[in-house]
Amino acid sequence: MAPDSPSIELPRRIERLVELTYNLWWSWHPEGRGLFRKLDYGLWKAGGHNPVKILREIAPEKLKAASTDPAFLQLYDSVMADFDADMAATDTWFASKHQNRLIGPVAYFSAEFAIHSSLPLYAGGLGILAGDICKEASDLGLPMVGVGLMYPQGYFRQRISIDGWQEEIYSRLDFDKAPVLPVFSSDGDRVLATVQLGNRLLLLTVWQVRVGATTLYLIDTNVEDNSPHDRDLSARLYIADREVRIQQEIVLGIGGVRILRALGIQPSLWHANEGHTSFMMLERIKEKVAAGMAFEEALRDIRATTVFTTHTPVPAGHDVFSTDLVDKYLSNYYAQLGIKRESVLNLGQSSHNDGGFNMTALALATSEHCNAVSRLHGVVARRMWQGYWPRAKKEEDVPIVHITNGVHVPTWVAPEMNKLFQQHLAADWVKKHDDPELWARVADIPDEELWKVRHKLKLKLVNFILELAQRDWSNRVIEAQQVVAMGALLHPEVLTIGFVRRFAGYKRPALIFHDVERLKRIVGDPWHPVQIVFAGKSHPADSPSKSCLHGVCTSASDRDFQGKIAFLGDHDMHTAHFLVAGVDVWLNNPRRLQEACGTSGMKASLNGVPHLSVSDGWWHEGYNGSNGWSIGDGVHPDRPEDEDRIDAESLYSILEQEIVPLFYERDRNGVPHGWIRIVKEAIRSVVPVYCARRMLKDYTNQLYLPQLPAPAAGHQHIPSAPDIP
């Protein structure tokens, strides 16, 4: 099953660039990125750091020149050697600790995957988590395949109109210039599978994305023999229409299992990321029933090899389908499960009276191991699902554990911070970044050096915004006032707060505007000014969120704010890299108990940007009193209006009394030693704990391995991806 080798002609000496281009391994290895920058810096920058696009568009003379340039060749040889070593590594953490425990890979199902901005198949944190897990699995040597949907139109691209409203732009992914490859079977045809949707049969095909040693399989309904409507079924992510959503989820869950079978992949474990993927478990029951097992036995069997992660702390956030829709699309499936319609529908019954088929309930019924994504979320999830386990007398008895999320450190560390850590922690710090002892050495970094790097990162952010503004202005995409609103008046010396995430209501993007006059005083202080950068998308069907976003954009062009409030449009992984490292303070103010974990603050802390956050999600366990600030501590009123008022008051006073004075208190060389102390403590305390490495080791030790039979000698690992001949 070889992916079609893309027809890119390269000089022989550097022909393996194609292979590297189609493995996103390069994206978390600085020398890999360096190689493509060096090849054509103009195309690298203009194309949004997309090597496939570079290889498709680069002038042949440049390739030829590179193939004889000793400096380029030296880098090329060293990158390829690192790549080969990683891909063939036998001394990985998993291999050395748990050799032979997994016969087949872990199959990780998710509705979104965020691997790189050139593959926009994500809306936010859920996708980032899935992408970070795929990368970390590769780094740890844990065999894994990802299963998701190919959304040719992705989520959407955001544009801000002249009057400050979000506009959604949908464009089709140019498959020729994206790091995806079609998958062919040994007889040369595209790998296909089918699913029944009500009374029609849908054909599915599959693409593959290489993420180091992990392979991601993306299912596509755009097959010629499908009807035009069906060909577009997987066109967009998180479509509001419930009927399209249930069909997408059948394609992902049921189709995903069938695609893996068609590929000849036999997973040892199945990990369902959030309820969107739960039909995967039904299909595996069906397989066993078809082979002659009784339903109960099949259920017991598949439960034992299923892990489910829930991310939704509010009942209204769960994926629920009406019984009518379930009947419409699955009624011919009921008999194949070997049980009556009522029994199938029962699997989706929650205790929340949501009057339908709840995908989280289905997941809980069909997974032996369930987890929430932070300690506090574990408490909330057990409380929320206690009614589901009548035998759980106490909340603690509910069998949902927690594994707190973490971020993939090599992906999210800024190059400048990476160098600083190489100099002062260890040249190979990345290899042992979940070791707390390594991070004790942060104390030894001279304040002046750390401050210089922090300043440089802010300058990079300001320059990035300026270049975008210049590009959009000269292309006549925006008018002068929009140039200001997107941040052209930001100043690199000024204390900068970032509020950057999806504009979901519970995240309260506009909380800092609660008392506009007070905010104007804070921002406009002539000696100690403050500026705020916002970025994030509203779901296209979420009108309150869009109004909120409009409010923020209006403030950004309000002259009273002096150009010190900015809204940077079209937030994605690319802008995220500049923002998480480039601001001074990372603001997070969700309504309490509604942010399951949150991960952007971890990326910020990693880069020396302390977290200013409500004590929710990971910050509830991550805040230690000296690594950032906690908003509204200890007081949790019931009424939302009161919560807003109290949290806003707390936010203002922390800014006025602690953050602003500390940031501007300098020695005679302009270095803020008090500030640096917090920066260092943020790095030291956050990185080794809130990294994807710690998280995936926890998943492996607590949820994956206990389900597997004891180690058997002599088993060979089945590679997670077919080999390219």
For ligand PLP, the binding residues (CB under 6 A) are: 124-125, 128, 501, 571-573, 576, 598-601, 603
Q: Cα–Cα distance between 34 and 422 in angstroms, integer?
A: 17
Instruction: Kindly report the length of the chain.
Output: 725
Take residue 361 and report the two structure tokens written for it.
């309930």
Take residue 266 and report the two structure tokens written for it.
């036999």
Q: Residue 151 or 388: which CB sits closer to ligand PLP?
A: 151
Amino acid at 282: L
Cα angle, residue 145 at apex, residues 86 and 227 outer, rounded to 5°: 135
Query: Closest distance between ligand PLP and the C-beta of residue 500, in Å?
Result: 8
Q: H or E segment at 281?
A: helix 279-290
Query: Closest distance between ligand PLP and the C-beta of residue 421, in Å?
Result: 20
Query: Closest distance between ligand PLP and the C-beta of residue 113, in Å?
Result: 13
- DSSP annotation of 143 reads -
Query: Closest distance between ligand PLP and the C-beta of residue 576, in Å?
Result: 4
Short-list 562, 536, 560, CA closest to 550: 536
How many other C-beta atoms lie within 10 A of the C-beta of residue 560?
13
Query: Closest distance between ligand PLP and the C-beta of residue 130, in Å?
Result: 12
Q: Residue 158 or 555: which CB sits closer to ligand PLP?
A: 158
Query: Closest distance between ligand PLP and the C-beta of residue 535, in Å?
Result: 9
Amino acid at 13: R
Q: What single string gives the DSSP state of each residue in 429-467?
A: GGGGTT-HHHHHGGGGS-HHHHHHHHHHHHHHHHHHHHH
Question: 281: alpha, beta or left, given left = phi > 0 and alpha = psi -120 to 50?
Answer: alpha
Q: Residue 128 or 299: which CB sits closer to ligand PLP?
A: 128
Query: Closest distance between ligand PLP and the C-beta of residue 115, in Å?
Result: 12
Query: Closest distance between ligand PLP and the C-beta of residue 111, in Å?
Result: 15
Q: Residue 58 or 486: which CB sits closer to ligand PLP?
A: 486
Q: H or E segment at 498?
A: strand 495-500
Short-list 151, 152, 153, CA closest to 111: 151
Q: How far apart are the first and last CA of the chain?
A: 9
3-state DSSP assignment of residue 10: coil
Q: Residue 460 or 520: which CB sits closer to ligand PLP?
A: 460
Q: Cα–Cα distance between 487 and 404 in angstroms, integer?
A: 34
Q: Residue 303 or 537: which CB sits closer to ligand PLP?
A: 537
Q: Residue 21 or 599: which CB sits closer to ligand PLP?
A: 599
Q: Residue 539 or 571: which CB sits closer to ligand PLP?
A: 571
Query: Closest distance between ligand PLP and the C-beta of residue 692, in Å?
Result: 12
Short-list 214, 201, 205, 135, CA closest to 175: 205
Query: Closest distance between ligand PLP and the C-beta of residue 126, in Å?
Result: 8
Q: Cα–Cα distance between 674 and 696 in angstroms, integer?
A: 35
Q: Residue 598 or 688: which CB sits closer to ligand PLP?
A: 598
Q: Residue 565 or 597: which CB sits closer to ligand PLP?
A: 597
Query: Closest distance between ligand PLP and the C-beta of residue 230, in Å?
Result: 30
Query: Closest distance between ligand PLP and the C-beta of residue 499, in Å?
Result: 10
Short-list 573, 616, 611, 571, CA closest to 591: 616
- Side-chain-side CA neighbours of 652 within 13 Å: the count stands at 18
Q: Residue 357 or 578: which CB sits closer to ligand PLP?
A: 578
* Residues 28, 211 contacting (CB under 8 angstroms): no
Q: H or E segment at 515?
A: none
Q: Residue 198 or 415: which CB sits closer to ligand PLP?
A: 415
Query: Closest distance between ligand PLP and the C-beta of residue 536, in Å?
Result: 8
Q: Cα–Cα distance between 532 and 496 in angstroms, integer?
A: 6
Q: Residue 98 or 603: which CB sits closer to ligand PLP?
A: 603
Question: 357: alpha, beta or left, given left = phi > 0 and alpha = psi -120 to 50?
Answer: beta
Alpha-carbon dihedral sign for residues 64, 65, 70, 75? negative
Q: Residue 308 forms beta bridges with which residues?
A: 272, 370
* Residues 192, 183 contacting (CB under 8 angstroms): no
